[in-house]
Each structure stands twice: as structure tokens, then as C-alpha cells.
Structure 1
Amino acid sequence: MKLSRFASDLSARGLLYAIANDRIHAPVPLDAEQNWQLWTEPKSPLIEWLSRAYPPESMRIAYLDKMLDCDHSQGIEAHYDVSNDFYALFLDTKYRFYTCAEFQTDTETLEQAQTNKAKYLLSFLNLAGDEKLLDLGCGWGAMLKFLQDTGHRGELTGFTLSKDQQIYASQKLDLNVSLTDFIATDFASAAYDRILSIGSLEHVRPHELNQLYQKTYDALVPGGLAVHQFFSLTRAAYPTSMVTIQLFFPGSLLVMHQTHIAAAELAGFKITHDSIHDYRPTLRAWYERLVANQSRALELVGLEIFNRYMTFLPISWLFFQQHEADLHRMVMEKPA
């Protein structure tokens, strides 16, 4: 059965997908050091070529088009609604950010690095204190909680498609977070002073991008700002990595960065900032924390989900190491 699945995956989805799926279904917990090295150490030129060239683009497009037929909520629930307590084992303990942190030194804790990131984004938001703000894909409400902690008095609203996240944010943190698909939902015209997203534009499919940027633009007051942190593709629109990522985020497909820029400018935005940041230290920190909490993780979610995240984190590190995508922080202004 195991050999048959690997051969089938190899033929239909390629080498990286086959190896990743095989390790997800390993009969024992993956060895931490061996697993990290498997994904992150340099490979032979032949293996590198094979992992990038197969399946051919026509097969990738056909498979991904089929995966994109599913509803957004299915993919979000598959990744996020496994256990709030499980995520708490490896995310920062203060805010529970599941997005790229900002490590300014090698000795900083994950908590310090995530606070650095939040301060970084806060500086872009340019808040006086009473602005009305919408957080698209707000997760467990980390940035909304940070804004409250730093004294923001304006109305704060968050959207998420994860039931577990919505319950946590609304009941544990008493935040105004609703179970809303921000991609499919219409926004009221000129309803917000600021619109924010951290790690959620990755779930917007290519054909949905223009409409999202346009309705974001329309939902801002004149002079309003949209601040986004997200990663986007650098070289190819349908790389083999997008096939493998379906194991972890079914129904998601990243977009080329120039497509994001074009969609924002078409909507009318003036891009005032676009910087690139390193996701790898955050992924490594999450991995180390998950490894340190292996016993509890297995109790909470079982072997297959534990091995899935043990595979997801280093394969994501490799994704950024090979510069298939970059993590961007962007500020977009709607002219006054």
C-alpha cells in the first residue's frame, strides 16, 4: 500500500509531493534532526532538476485548476481547524501570530520577534488612535489584540474562515471577529480608515485578485491605507511547489508578485512601500518548539497531523531558501 501510494504520487504529482506525503503517513513520529536535514540540505543537481521539472506545467495546471474548484473554507478549515491548543504549542505565547516574525538578532525569542513585526506594521498603519480598521484573515486575533494593547481606541473588526480561530478570538479575547470569507464578501463603500492583512493574501486565487484589490480600495475612505504582509511567487506562476502545497493548503495557489502590484495599481492604489523580509528564522523557531512539545502534540492531534506539520515547516523553509517566493510588506494609499 505504501509503495503503491508513493509510486502513484510520484507519477501524478512529482517527487516532492511523493516524499512529503510518504512522510506525513510515516508509522512513527518523524525524527526531528533527520527530517530537517532531509528537506534543507543541498541535493544533487539531478534531484534538484527533477523536483522542479516534473510534473510538466500542463499537468500542474490541470491539477491545480481542479483543486481550485473547492470552496475557500474547505482549505482553511483543513489547515487551521485541527486544535487551538496544538497551535499554541509552537506559536508565540503572547499573541499567537501564525505569520512571519521579525528577528532583529539571533538571540531574540519568538515572542520578541513577533512583537517586532507587530510594531513594524503598526508604524505603517500611521494611526492617530481612533481609526476604523478591518483585519482580513485575522487568525487568532493577534494584531487586533496588539492594537488594543497599544491603546488604539477606534473600531477593530476581523474576518476569518476558521471556526476555531473565530471562537478563540471572540470568546477568549473578546474581539469583534466574524466567520467571514473576505474574498467573497462585499465591503461597504468608504467604511474603513485602514485595511490590514497579515498572511492572508496567499489564499486569494489569481482570478480573484483584481476584484479583491478593487473592493479594498473602494472600502477605504479617501486618504486611507491598506497594509499587507504576504508572500508571492518570484519566478513562475505554476511551480511544482504549488502542487506539493496542496497537501497542506488545499485549494490555495500563490500569485506572482508583479500581478499583485498590477492589480493594486489598476484599482487606483499608490504603492508607497514594498520591502522583502526573511521567513526562514520564524519557520525554524516554530519547528523547534513543535519538536520540544512532541508528546503533547501527539496527544492533541495524533500521529498523522503531527507528521504533517513536521513536514510542512521544513518544506516551507526550503521554499524560501530557494527563492521561489518572497515575503513582502506593502503599504498602499488611496489618494485623498
Structure 2
Amino acid sequence: MSIAQIVESVVDGPLPLRVEAYDGSGVGPAEAARRLTVATPRGLSYLATAPGDLGLARAYVSGDLRVEGVHPGDPYDLLADLSGVRFRRPGREQVLELSRMLGVRGLTPPPPPPQESLPRWRRLAEGLRHNQTRDAEAIHHHYDVSNRFYEMVLGPSMTYTCACYPAADATLEEAQENKYRLVFDKLGLRPGDRLLDIGCGWGGMVRHAARRGVSVLGVTLSREQALWAQKAIAEEGLADLAEVRHSDYRAVTESGFDAVSSIGLTEHIGVRNYPAYFGFIRDRLRTGGLLLNHCITRPHNRRTETGAFIDRYVFPDGELTGSGRIITEVQDAGLEVFHEENLREHYALTLAGWCRNLVEHWDECVEEVGEGTARVWGLYMAGSRLGFERNEIQLHHVLAAKTGADGLSGLPLRPWWST
């Protein structure tokens, strides 16, 4: 039995792409726009010993699974093809044939590519999930790749969160600027106000608000982000209004802020830590102060860990839940929710823009971080785009206030910002 015959025996229905293997066999339409080649026995071992997205990722990132018909910086069409494939559980005959092909050594999982993090159970050695040490390591794994790499992929805004497109044909930069404008306006910020930006990244929101006369403190667990942001603040002459600290948000002791923005941090803190997280924010706000929480969510309200590929290669320890759970936790912390909205489709457009940048700068990105890491990013961003388009993941804004004891918020009766 050939490798192609084994593939054909476990696929339920026709293949939308061509699959070939190092033994010379092939299955699927010869004229297909996209072609997958299992190029080595190690690639087959990756696929056999870790069925699903983890095995595919290992083989692809290592170069043992080769692809024709898509650019590695944007394998969106390939992933769309694969998402329609349905697999059957392999029978005894297929398992025995694989065992014969690979031998005992081949049925032992090969060492994963160097870009892979330890599995969750192995990371327990670093301490309980979401303690400050382990959170710092998780952030370092993802965000301290290379500032130059991020400049090429994210573009001039250096903004690694969902943009807000004023129109479908807007540029990525226009949409990111519009996102910061929207957050600023929702928070009702004015010159002289004080803003705390938790998980500030490279300081995009910090600088946006400081340019408009707001005093801003941003915190990030990524040293590389903090250094980049501090340099950008100095170059723009904003040091009298803007500060970015390399720090865990839990180390912030200042309070009395007029507003808190949390843009893309909630995904990292763990659902069980929401009460402490939103309680911390409540305690940092003055009475009447506002919170804008921007985070990736599920279309349901169950707590879910990210899949194996995302957890091992992208966001170690990441957890998601639905907007309803987030709103409940915000309310239980004593904050009053005034507005929420779903920007899911905007994130699909944002990811498409990042993939275009990666394709455009592919050779430079590979030179900067290596081909394996660049492949991880293309795979992750294209797969995430597909997830947002298909409503498997969402992005919600939740706006809340620290209402006074008298129940008065002091806010306008209707939304005061333009969409």
C-alpha cells in the first residue's frame, strides 16, 4: 500500500487538492490549483504521531510538508481547501501499513521544530498558569521575536490588534488609526485626562492619546516592545505625557485614572483570573472613569483553551471565552456595562493585510527570523483569518464605567462616538 492509498482510505469524499509523497504516489485531482507533498519519512512521522493541526504544523514548519500553489506567507487558500476535508478513523490495515512503512523509530514522535513551545503539562514546571513568571515567558515567546520582523508584518502603525475598517477598501494603516480613534472616543478622553493602557504593545494607543493631550501610562511584559515604544515616544517628543513600562500590569500602583484601555490582553490572563483582573481595573479608575476592553472571544461562553498549534507555536497558555462571560465578569467586579460590539469581520480584514505584508517582505522576514518562524506566522495568520470569517472566533469591545454610589454615570444618554 502506498502513502497516497493510505491518505485516500482515510478521507471521506473527494480531495479538493493534490497530495503526493516521497514514495512517488499521489491522490487527488492532477489539475488541482494546490499541491501538498509529504517530502520525507520524518514528515510522515509528524503526521502519523500527532494527527490534526499539530502534526500538519510540524511537518509544514520543518519543510517536510511542501506546498505548491500558495505563498508560505499567506497559505489561506490551502487552509480553506483543507477545512473542507473530512477524515475517517484509520482502520487496522492502515495502521499496520503505516507501522511497516515507518518502523518503530518512525512511530516515535520526531523532535518538534525549534519554534514549538512545551505542551501545557510540561510548562507546569515553570509554575502555575498565569503567575507573573509564566506569563512573562509566554509573552516573551510570542512578542520578542524581532521588532524588525514586526515592523515588516504589521506596517508603520506597529499595531498587533484588530483594526477597525471605516470601509472595506480602507488601507491597513487607515483602519488601525481609526481603531485608536474609536477607542479614544469611546473612552471620552480629553486633554488633561489620565489613561492607563494595559498590555500596550509597541505603544500605539499610548502615543495616539498623548498626541491629543492625554497623560498616558502603558505597561507591557515584552522588553522588546517597551524599548521600541520608549524610543518612539522620545522621537515624537511625547515624553512629558507618555510613559511605557516593561512591567506586569499587576505591578501598577497608581490609581484615579480617568480611563483604562485593555487592547488585546484579556486573551492572555486566563478566564479564572477575570475577577481579579477586572477588580484591578476597577480599583485603578476614579469614580465615573471608563474601561474599554478589546479582546478575541468565542461565539459561545464556555472557557476554552486554544488548540495545540496555537498553544505550542503562537500563544502559550492562551484562553478564550465569549463576550457574555466577559460582560458578566465586568459586572460582577462592580462596573456598569454601557456598550459592546463585535468587530469579527474587521479582524479577518486585518489578518489579510498582515499576510500581504508578510508576502511582500518574505525574503527580508526569512533573513530576520528564519524560514521556520516565518512559516509559523503565515500559517497562524491565514488560519486565524479563516476562523474569523467563519465565526469560529470573534472580537468584542466592551465599554464599562465605574458608576458612583448615587448611580449617576455622568455619561450622555446616547453613544457619543462616531462609528
Correspondence for 2:262 among 172, 185, 197 = 197
Q: Deviations over 1:131-160 (max 9, x none)?
A: 1111000000001111122x22x4210110
**Contact 1:133–1:194 under 8 Å retained in 2:** yes
**Partner SS for 1:89:** helix
CA offset at residue 251 of structure 1? Answer: 1.6
**Contact 2:46–2:56 under 8 Å retained in 1:** no
**Partner SS for 1:215:** helix
TM-score for the superposition, normalised by structure 2: 0.70
TM-score for the superposition, normalised by structure 1: 0.86
**Partner SS for 1:176:** strand
Distance of 1:236 and 1:269 partners within structure 2: 19
Q: Which residues of structure 2 form unaligned runs of 5+? A: 1-41, 91-118, 235-241, 405-419
Distance of 1:243 and 1:3 partners within structure 2: 18
Moved more, 235-244 or 276-285: 235-244
CA offset at residue 323 of structure 1? Answer: 1.6
Moved more, 23-32 or 267-276: 23-32
Distance of 1:253 and 1:179 partners within structure 2: 23
Structure 1 residues 199 and 240: CA distance shift in structure 2, 3 A: closer
Q: Deviations over 1:151-174 (max 9, x none)?
A: 22x421011011110110112323
Q: 2:79 matched to 1:39?
A: yes
Q: Deviations over 1:34-68 (max 9, x none)?
A: 82211134743635999xxxxxxxxxxxx756657
Q: 2:248 matched to 1:181?
A: yes
Correspondence for 2:388 among 313, 320, 325 = 320
**Contact 1:28–1:303 under 8 Å retained in 2:** no
Structure 1 residues 187 and 325: CA distance shift in structure 2, 3 A: farther
| Aligned residue number for residue 141 of structure 2 | 78
* Counterpart residue identity of residue 177, structure 1: V
**Contact 1:29–1:306 under 8 Å retained in 2:** no
Structure 1 residues 321 and 65: CA distance shift in structure 2, 3 A: farther
CA offset at residue 32 of structure 1? Answer: 1.4
| Aligned residue number for residue 56 of structure 1 | none
Moved more, 41-50 or 74-83: 41-50
CA offset at residue 4 of structure 1? Answer: 2.3
Number of aligned residue pairs: give it: 315
| Aligned residue number for residue 140 of structure 1 | 202
Distance of 2:299 and 2:264 partners within structure 1: 17
| Aligned residue number for residue 3 of structure 1 | 44
CA offset at residue 326 of structure 1? Answer: 1.2
Distance of 2:75 and 2:262 partners within structure 1: 32
Q: 2:155 matched to 1:92?
A: yes
**Partner SS for 2:399:** strand
| Aligned residue number for residue 7 of structure 2 | none
Structure 1 residues 133 and 37: CA distance shift in structure 2, 3 A: same
Distance of 2:341 and 2:197 partners within structure 1: 20
* Counterpart residue identity of residue 219, structure 2: F
CA offset at residue 240 of structure 1? Answer: 7.8
CA offset at residue 230 of structure 1? Answer: 0.9
Correspondence for 2:339 among 273, 279, 292 = 273
| Aligned residue number for residue 172 of structure 2 | 110
Structure 1 residues 236 and 104: CA distance shift in structure 2, 3 A: same
| Aligned residue number for residue 126 of structure 1 | 188
Q: Deviations over 1:279-309 (max 9, x none)?
A: 1000001001100101110111111111110
Moved more, 191-200 or 64-73: 64-73
**Contact 1:17–1:243 under 8 Å retained in 2:** yes
Distance of 1:322 and 1:103 partners within structure 2: 18
Distance of 1:42 and 1:27 partners within structure 2: 17
**Contact 1:290–1:297 under 8 Å retained in 2:** yes
Correspondence for 2:281 among 208, 216, 220 = 216
* Counterpart residue identity of residue 229, structure 1: H
Structure 1 residues 225 and 38: CA distance shift in structure 2, 3 A: same
| Aligned residue number for residue 55 of structure 1 | none
Distance of 2:178 and 2:375 partners within structure 1: 30
Distance of 2:263 and 2:220 partners within structure 1: 12
Q: 2:357 matched to 1:289?
A: yes
Amino-acid identity (%):
26
Structure 1 residues 76 and 29: CA distance shift in structure 2, 3 A: farther
Describe how 1:237-252 pairs up with structure 2 within 5 A. Answer: 237=302, 241-246=306-311, 247-252=313-318
**Partner SS for 2:167:** coil
**Contact 1:103–1:116 under 8 Å retained in 2:** yes
CA offset at residue 75 of structure 1? Answer: 1.3
* Counterpart residue identity of residue 304, structure 1: G
Look at both structures and tell me which one has the larger radius of gyration over its CA atoms: 2
CA offset at residue 196 of structure 1? Answer: 0.5
Q: Which residues of structure 1 form unaligned runs of 5+? A: 51-62
State the structure with bigger RCO (CA 8 A, min sep 6), 1 or 2.
1
CA offset at residue 123 of structure 1? Answer: 1.1
| Aligned residue number for residue 408 of structure 2 | none
